[in-house]
Structure 1
Amino acid sequence: MTLTPEAPSRTTLVVHVRLDTAGKPLAVRHDGRIWIVDPDTESQHWFARDSWWDTRRTAAVGSGDLVSVEYWRVQVLGSHSALRTFTLRREPLATQWLLESIDDGC
Structure 2
Amino acid sequence: MTVTTESPALNASVDVRFTAAGTPLAVRYDGRIWVVAEEPLRWFTRDSWWETRRNVPVGVGNVVDIEHWRVQVRHTSDSPLRTFELRRDPLSERWLLESITEG
Structures share a fold, TM > 0.5? Answer: yes
CA contact (8 A) 2:3 2:9 kept: no
Once residues 57 and 11 of structure 2 are traced to their aligned partners in structure 1, the CA distance between those partners, rounded to angstroms, is 28
Alignment gaps of 5+ in structure 1: none
Alignment gaps of 5+ in structure 2: none
RMSD: 1.8
Matched, 1:66 2:57: no
Deviations 1:6-34 (A, max 9, x none): 32436210011101112211000110011
2:84 maps to which residue?
A: 86
Percentage of identical aligned residues: 53
Task: Give the superposition deviation at 1:51.
Answer: 1.0
For the residue of structure 2 that corresponds to 1:76, the secondary structure is: strand
CA contact (8 A) 1:50 1:69 kept: yes
Spell out the pairing of 1:1-106 with structure 2 (5 A cutoff): 2=1, 4-9=3-8, 11-38=10-37, 41-59=38-56, 62-79=59-76, 80-105=78-103
Task: Give the superposition deviation at 1:60.
Answer: 5.5
CA contact (8 A) 1:70 1:90 kept: yes
Deviations 1:48-101 (A, max 9, x none): 001101111233664311111110000101125201100011022432110110
CA contact (8 A) 1:85 1:102 kept: yes
**Alignment-mate amino acid for residue 28 of structure 2:** R
- Name the count of aligned residue pairs: 102
**Alignment-mate amino acid for residue 5 of structure 2:** E
